[in-house]
Amino acid sequence: MEHVLEAEGLGKRYGGRWALRDCTLRLPAGRVAALVGPNGAGKSTLLHLAVGLLRPDAGAVRVLGAGPYENTGTLADIGFVAQDTPIYRDFTADDLVTMGGKVNRRWDAALARTRLAQLGIPPRTPVGKLSGGQRAQVALALALAKRPRLLLLDEPVASLDPLARREFLQSLMGSVAESGTTVLLSSHILADLERSCDFLVVLQGGRVQLAGVVDDIVAEHRQLVGPLHSGDAIAGVAGIVRARHTDRQSTLLVRTDGPVQDPAWTVRELTLEDLILAYLADGDTRANHAAWGVAA
C-alpha cells in the first residue's frame, strides 16, 4: 500500500512546550482523511510540518517518500489551504491564477478559471472584497490548479456559514473524485467530516489516538451497558476506551476483536460523532488530571 504521508515519532517544540510529540501516522494514497482534535492538539503543527513550513525537533515526517522541509521537488506535489485562506487581498482572482502559473512548474490555469467561473467568482474584483466563502473557493481553486498529489486543508470552512461550507465541501469532493488527490482535512465540524471523509485521524495532546478507515473504525467499536464491571475480561473486547460507572451499572466504550455475546451486556452501535467525542473527552480527562498531578 502506498502512503503519501508518514510520520514516525514526530515532534515539534515551541520553547519548553511540545505542540506535537511522538506522533506516528500513515495516510494511504487516495483517501479523503479527517484530522480531528481540540484546540491545541497539534493539528496545525502537523500540517505545517507536512507542508515543509516547519522543521521537526524529533522524529521524521515524509511526504511522498521524502522529507518536505526545504524540498522543492516534494512541495511541488503538495497543495495547501491554511486557516483564514491567506491570499493577496489586493489581487483579483484572475491575477492570482496568472501569478500561480509563474511560480508553479505544473500549473493548470484552465482548471482554476473553469472552477471559478462555475462558482460565479468575479475575475476582476479584488479578493479582499469577496465574501468569506468566495475567498475560500479561490484558495481551493489555486491549490487544485497545482494538480497536487496531496492536498492539506487547515480549518478551511471554520468561518463559513452552513451553505458556504456545504458548497465548499461539495466542490472539493467533486475535484478530488476527478483527480484522485489524497486529502487531509482539519476541521471541528464533525457532521461535515462524516459526510465527506473516508479516513479518520484523531489527534489529542500532540499524539495520534486513533487512525484508520472510517467504516472499519466504526465497525470495531461498540458501547456496552451492563452490570458493574470489576475489570474482568469480556469475550470479544480487545480494549476499553472509556468507562462510566454507577453503583450498579457500567457503560463501556470498547474496541472489539469479535462478537460480544455475553447476555449480561447490552451491545449498541456508535455513530462516528459519538466515537470521536468519546476519544476526545477521554483524552481531555487524562490531560487535565496529569496537569494537576492527580489520578484520573
pTM: 0.87
pLDDT the model gives residue 162: 82
pLDDT, residue 280, reads 85
Cα separation, 34 vs 199, whole angstroms: 6
Q: State residue 1's pLDDT score.
A: 65
Beta strands in 139-198 (DSSP E): 150-154, 182-186
Other CB atoms closer than 10 Å to residue 233's CB: what's the count? 6
Give the Cα separation of 214 and 83 in Å (integer): 25
Residues carrying CATH 3.40.50.300, the chain: 3-214
Distance CA 186, CA 155 (A): 5
Asked if 137 contacts 120 with a C-beta cutoff of 8 angstroms, the reply is no
CATH code for the structural domain at 3-214: 3.40.50.300
pLDDT < 50 regions, the chain: 287-296
The edge-to-edge listing of strands for the beta sheet with 32-36 is 78-81, 150-154, 182-186, 32-36, 199-204, 207-213
Q: How far apart are CA 169 and CA 159, in angstroms?
A: 14
Whole-number pLDDT of residue 261: 93
